[in-house]
């Protein structure tokens, strides 16, 4: 950096984390159409959730240690 230029904001890495998520969700409803609609609008009762980190990518900034 030049001597006459001030750093406005410190450089800080921003990352994107990609996850694969598998969930088992229960919906209490009168029929499948109502259940699907409720799932899309409000969600349901999550009884199982498996999360796996798939990828990490730096989007902005740089690692000062490198």
The string of DSSP letters for 38-64 reads HHHHT--EEEEEEEEEEEEEEEES--T
Report the Cα–Cα distance between both ends of the chain, in Å, rounded: 17
pLDDT tens, residue order, the chain (66 aa): 567 777 676 777 789 999 999 999 999 999 999 999 999 999 999 999 999 999 999 887 655 554
Residue 18: beta bridge partners? 55
Q: What is the pTM of this model?
A: 0.57
d(CA 35, CA 39): 6
Q: Give CA–CA dist 62/58, Å, rounded.
A: 8
21: nearest Cα among 50, 60, 45, 59: 50
């Amino acid at each position: 950096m030049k001597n006459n230029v001030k750093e406005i904001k410190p450089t800080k890495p921003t990352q994107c984390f990609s996850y694969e998520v598998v969930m088992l969700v229960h919906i209490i409803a009168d029929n499948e159409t109502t259940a699907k609609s409720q799932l899309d609008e409000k969600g349901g009762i999550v009884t199982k959730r498996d999360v796996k980190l798939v990828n990490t990518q730096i989007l902005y900034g740089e690692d000062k240690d490198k």
